[in-house]
Structure 1
Amino acid sequence: MAGRRRWSTEEILDAAAELLRAGDADAFSVRKLAAALGTDSSSLYRHFRNKTELVRAVADRVLLSAMEGYRPEGDWKQRITTVALRLRDAFGQQPQLAAVWGRYASGGAGSRLVMEEVLQALRSSGLPDDQVPVRYHRMVVLLAALIASDGGVSSISAQEFEQGLEQFRVAVLGADPERFPALSHFAREIRPLGADRAAAFEEILAAHLADVEAAIP
């Protein structure tokens, strides 16, 4: 009788990415992945020690795709902005995986490429070396949060979006002015979380870069 097919690491990651696109990191399991591949979990543990290691590898492939063909151009702010937008676009193609990066991070080749470029850009800005690691950490925390938020909104269905929008309108436009005077005052100008995400992403990033620039001696 023929033995079970042996799946390569890349094939396992392809299948894992598809499952994660259809659900999320909480619903994902090695057992479900094994079932999708028609094998048993033990065969997958020869490639990855646990679920966390596996999803980190999937997220790292998104980072690799984001950095593919990248060449540093412009000043340090332009370089970081370009990397940030590449990351946003790459995870935008796979929004269900955006939260995976923010939750699990990654230690693979893609992660190292992103880390190296952001660190080099910050160092070229004129920041003292002792400030670069702290500024780097804040930058990556900000990017992970923005990308995870963007991915979370992008991954919901049109029906879920409309339901959320209706609840937002009720909560904002129906607020009691006695109890919520500021909310009532600005109600018609307040926009839901999903509105103008691209512009908000770029404005928040630019403000953070300006803060870094102000700290340069």
Structure 2
Amino acid sequence: MPPTPESARRRRRPTKQGTVLTHDLIVATALRMLAEHGAAGLSARRLGLALGADPSAVYRYFAGMDDLVLAIGDELIHRALDGWEPTGDWCEDLRSLGTRIHRAYLAHPQAAQLTANRVSGRSHEIAADETILGILHTAGFRGAAAARVYHAFIDQTLAFAALDAASLALPDQAREADEQQWRATYARLPAATHPHIAAAAPLLVARMNDSAYPAALDLLLAGAAAELEA
């Protein structure tokens, strides 16, 4: 069954706050609620209160709360692609797309934890997939090679988004305690018992509290380029 058009779903009268409900307004409000209260704070009842509408109004736009979660994930992809323009250099284009997707998810860490492992099948996700596969095709990847690089690229991007978002979503005290472990524990291990950690400790202290995604992306693209040349 095709989705109900926006015009048919739209609330005819303004809410108590004087706004007219739309798909985009509900998604934006849900993103704000996730940022303020986390996943546990997102419910139709609370969403209705935030919108100044009856909670049942949400179901004129979404089949259920899981459908709303998928729409949130699609909106994050939309924000990542908004304004992006290709350069014609396939490596640079994939690097910039991956970086933008990763950054869009980290801007909403609570939402990222809910959506990074989901497949929405919605318009912005489909547009992103078509764009990435088009870049690979233009570069010269075909068939199984294109599918393999696409799979590694998108899963790596979303996996790092989920990992880094989970860290950002921690309470400040817990996150700071984790970050201090590299200086308080690893940097103090003696070379006599842990020679490899002791040798790498200064480098690890400098790197481990930052995301490894840029380095991992460079490694993936370098491997893909080498495969293409071979």
TM-score where L is the length of structure 1 = 0.81
Question: Unmatched 5+ residue regions in structure 2?
Answer: 1-12
Find the counterpart in structure 2 of residue 131 from structure 1.
145
Find the counterpart in structure 2 of residue 61 from structure 1.
75
Q: Deviations over 1:157-186 (max 9, x none)?
A: 554432222344444245577775543454
In structure 2, C-alpha distance between the alignment counterparts of 1:120 and 1:42, rounded to whole Å: 41
Contact 1:21 1:94 in 2 (8 A): yes
Contact 1:52 1:104 in 2 (8 A): no
- Residue 214 of structure 1 pairs with residue 209 of structure 2: no
Find the counterpart in structure 1 of residue 215 from structure 2.
203
- What is the CA distance between 1:34 and its match in structure 2? 2.5
Find the counterpart in structure 1 of residue 4 from structure 2.
none
Contact 1:22 1:96 in 2 (8 A): no
Q: Deviations over 1:190-215 (max 9, x none)?
A: 23876232xx3222101101222232
Write the mapping of 1:1-217 to structure 2, written as runs, cut at 5 A. 5=15, 7-156=21-170, 158-173=172-187, 175=189, 180=194, 182-191=196-205, 195-197=209-211, 200-216=212-228, 217=230
Q: Deviations over 1:76-123 (max 9, x none)?
A: 111111111222332333233222331324322221221111101111
Secondary structure, counterpart of 1:215 in structure 2: helix
In structure 1, C-alpha distance between the alignment counterparts of 2:146 and 2:225, rounded to whole Å: 12
Q: Share of identical aligned residues, percent? A: 25
- Residue type of the partner of 1:115? D
Structure having greater relative contact order (Cα 8 Å, sep ≥ 6) = 1
Shift in alpha-carbon separation, 1:194–1:127, aligned structure 2, 3 A: same
- Residue type of the partner of 1:206? D
The number of aligned residues is: 213
Query: Which consecutive aligned stretches of 4+ in structure 1 deviate over 6 angstroms post-superposition?
Result: 176-179
In structure 2, C-alpha distance between the alignment counterparts of 1:194 and 1:91, rounded to whole Å: 20
Contact 1:101 1:144 in 2 (8 A): no
Question: Unmatched 5+ residue regions in structure 1?
Answer: none
- Residue type of the partner of 2:154? V
In structure 2, C-alpha distance between the alignment counterparts of 1:18 and 1:60, rounded to whole Å: 16
- What is the CA distance between 1:4 and its match in structure 2? 8.4
Q: Deviations over 1:111-139 (max 9, x none)?
A: 12211111011112212223212321121
TM-score where L is the length of structure 2 = 0.77
- What is the CA distance between 1:70 and its match in structure 2? 1.9
Contact 1:29 1:51 in 2 (8 A): yes
Contact 1:168 1:192 in 2 (8 A): no
